[in-house]
Amino acid sequence: MNHSTKKYPLTGRRILIGKPGLDGHDIGAKIIALTLRDAGAEVIYTGLRRSAKQIAQVAVDEGVDAVGLSILSGSHKELVSDVLNELRERHSEDIKVFVGGTIPPEDHSHLHSLGVTAIFTADMPLQSVVNRLSKDLE
Amino acid sequence: MNMRAPDSNLPLMEPVLSSRNRSGIEIPPSVDSSAVHADRIGSPGQYPFTRGIFPDGYQGRLWTIRQYSGFGTAEESNERYKFLLDQGQTGLSVALDLPTQCGYDPTHPMARPEIGKVGVSLSNLSEAEILFKDLDLASISTSFTINGTAAIIYAMYLAVADKQGVPRAKLTGTIQNDILKEYVARGTWIFPVRPSMRLIADSILYSNEVTPRFNPISIAGAHVRDAGATAAEEMAYTLANGLAYVDELRSRGGDVEKFAKRLSFFFYVHMDFFEEIAKFRAGRRLWARFMKERYGVQDAKAQHLRFGVVCGGSSLVAPQPYNNVVRVAVETMAAVFGGAQSIFTCALDEAFQIPTEFSAELAVRTQQMIAYESGIARTVDPLGGSYFLEEHTDRMEEMILKVMREIDSYGGMEKAIEDGWIQMRLAERGLERKLDTDAGLNVIVGQNHFSKADEEIKIGELFTLDPTIAQRALEKYQRTLDTRNAAEVQRTLASLSQAAANDGENVMPYLVDCCHAYATVEEMVNTLKQQWGEFKEPVNL
């Protein structure tokens, strides 16, 4: 199926956008939240400075299909691993986790090996993000 | 040339030379002398200062060359500062880590993963003593990018100066201390808006008396720009915030003629050359007019918009990263034509990581080439009188005023922030900009146009942080707690608490006492939180 032909390819999906840690730059997180909403998803945004525990708990309580984490401070390895652990502790490892922000290329394979579904960098077109997510969430 | 965005189903528009700039101003193909209003231009050093605040420009004094830097522990940052000063940097610009910015000590669970990452960890005076070891604070101007905990870090700087025996009155430098833009763009808020405004007024009024050569605030548009604002909006939000601080200080009995001389500003400079130069010139003119007409300020120095500039971090991109060297050069030239008082250049690898020593040095060299080789710094405002630039400055001024009127009609900056209105506007603007980039309407060379298919991002060695920094910071922290006089800490914190409860009291001297007693940032912040509460972020998405 060609995802680009479907106008609202994320209809019926619930997605949590989270800002773990102390990084306060959230324009990227907000742009992604608005984009996913425009693509049909129900989007919840956590706001700033959430702990891994808080994010995992909201994800479980809200029954989301995916969690997007936005991190620009360089703490992505620790924070992503913390969120994945918290999800596992809640028996919710089926929730897909994707990551955006300042993620140096050499860290991508490490994050994938932890269980991250996709990594979105700032230069990636928003349509590609939507396409990729709708495919991963099928 | 790759005409499709990588991994997208959207066809890219052909690259076109747009006739409209990002602030939405239509640019005519040519402008003639009829567009120039000589009366609005004036002379350099003369009201309304369109052409600069000094008659002799950079011949009188070159801009301060700084690099935003700091990472890991105080020891590593102290070493980087000495390296940069040896390369000819003329001022320090201290980057603090996020725990220090948000008011958490290294032991706080939220702090652990962030210790020393985007700046240096500075949890108490003992760290500040190491950070400034063997640096002469009487001769070095130090700028701190700090907001939520600005008053505390300023107090710590005073305590270090006291320890080194440097008279406070000799200190020069800047604390950013602009909380209003933190609520909308950068997120290191701690207290609600009202007590934050009080804390800022306290620090400015105290600084006016104690450190008369120090800038106790740098009203910053840079982060608002990063969060999506156009050039005109950046200037408009910043001037609106500036006026909000002036009103606050006046309501506290401050003498505008006096404190306005120590207000400083901080802006981004992006790639649209003339838009940026016009933004600085229009902003300078508007601020002078506000000071004179709205507040009756007579002293020219109190009418001056003095500003630092940083190259737009968000204008740097990861694909074809060496292109960023050229971007930084163009942006630095726009800052020089705009008349900046200090400039930080970005480094070519900042789209990936904090800079390596190599790229930080190249960024300093870029400024030095523009300062000493290009000749553009010889004449003040060398483009002044250009038909196009003068007309464009007028148009930018109109656009800035239009945005400021919208904020006014909403009910002012404080209300617009508390309601999340500005935040939402920025998010929508950021989305617009990103969609335009994705469609190829904003040409970004090497990213959405003129890129090679399946190009791999190639960059040399990136900066890597020593993995032991968090552990070392925690050990030092513990040592300070073990060796300080606990009773003295309790005494100074209790006095701080009383001062915070009393609106008529200035908390600054109490913060300095706390710092001298080696109270930690988190202890001081928690003491203030008990009196003032915490900001509740409006999440309007």
pLDDT tens per residue, range B138-150: 999 999 999 999 9
Residue B269 dihedral angles phi and psi, to the nearest 5°: -130, 125
Question: Which chain A residues are Cβ-neighbours of B352 within 8 angstroms?
Answer: 102, 104-105
Query: What pLDDT shows up at residue B3?
Result: 44
**Burial class of A138 by CB neighbour count within 10 A (0 to 12, 13 to 18, 19+):** exposed
The dihedral through the CA atoms of B203, B204, B209, B213 has a sign that is positive
The alpha carbon torsion through A109, A114, A120, A126 (nearest 10 deg) reads 130
| CB within 8 Å: B8 and A82 | no
Q: B120 to chain A: which residues are within 8 Å by CB? A: none
Contact flag A22-B435 (C-beta cutoff 8 Å):
no
pLDDT at A5: 59
Of residues B54 and B88, which shows the higher confidence score?
B54
Residue A105: the pLDDT is 85
pLDDT classification of B400: cutoffs 50, 70, 90: very high
Q: Pseudo-torsion of CA B129, B135, B136, B142, nearest 10°? A: -80
| C-alpha distance across the termini of chain B, in Å | 38
Taking residues B512-517, what's their average pLDDT?
Answer: 98
Please tell me which of the candidates B5, B102, B434 has its beta carbon nearest to residue A22.
B102
Residues 6+ apart with CB under 8 A from A47: A19, B537, B539
A4 contacts on B by Cβ (under 8 Å): 9-10
Q: Which of B221, B239, B381, B434 is nearest to B310 (CA)?
A: B221
**Secondary structure in 3-state letters for chain A:** CCHHHCCCCCCCCEEEEECECCCCCCHHHHHHHHHHHHCCCEEEECCCCECHHHHHHHHHHCCCCEEEEEECCCCHHHHHHHHHHHHHHCCCCCCEEEEEECCCHHHHHHHHHHCCCEEECCCCCHHHHHHHHHHHCC
Residue B113 to residue A75, Cβ atoms within 8 A? yes
ipTM of the complex: 0.92
Of residues B486 and B42, the one with the higher pLDDT is: B486
Of B104, B118, B427, the CB nearest to A34: B427
Pick left, alpha or beta for residue B177 (phi over 0 → left; psi -120 to 50 → alpha; otherwise beta).
Answer: left
Nearest to B268 by CA among B320, B306, B314: B314
Give residue-wise pLDDT tens across range B319-363.
899 999 999 999 999 999 999 999 989 888 887 777 888 998 999
User: With contact defined as beta carbons under 8 Å apart, do B521 and B105 qualify?
Assistant: yes
Nearest to A34 among B226, B431, B465 (CB): B431
Nearest-Cα residue of chain A relative to residue B539: A47
| Amino acid occupying residue B65 | I
Residue B416, token pair as written in the block: 């617009």
> What pLDDT does B348 receive?
87
- Chain A contacts of B115, Cβ < 8 Å? none
In the numeric block, which tokens belong to residue A123? 């230069």
Q: Would strands B214-215 and B342-344 be described as parallel, antiparallel, or unpaired?
A: unpaired
Encoded tokens for B5: 């965005």
For residue B514, count other CB atoms closer than 10 A to its CB. Answer: 29
pLDDT at B7: 59
A102/B539 touch (CB, cutoff 8 Å), yes or no: no
State pTM to two decimals. Answer: 0.94
Of A34, A51, A123, the CB nearest to B109: A51
What's phi and psi for B60, nearest 5 deg? -70, -45
Helix (H, G, I), strand (E, B) or coil at B214: strand
Average pLDDT across chain B, whole number: 93
- B8: confidence class by pLDDT, cuts 50, 70, 90: low
CA distance B276 to B273: 5
Nearest CA in chain B to A25: B186
Q: CA angle, B267 as apex, B275 and B348 as ends, to 5°?
A: 85
Cα dihedral angle (B129, B135, B138, B143), rounded to 10 degrees? -80
**Does B434 sit within 8 Å of A126, measured CB to CB?**
yes
Distance CA B476, CA B473 (A): 5
- Best mutation site among B7, B149, B183, B184 for testing chain A: the one with the most A CBs within 10 Å? B7
CA distance B376 to B380: 9
Over the stretch B168-195, which tens digit does the pLDDT of each residue have?
A: 999 999 999 999 999 999 999 999 999 9
Q: At residue B21, what is the residue type?
A: N
Chain A CB contacts of B428 below 8 Å? 34
CA distance linking residue B258 with residue B263, whole number of Å: 10
Facing residue for A124 by CB, picked from B7, B187, B541: B7
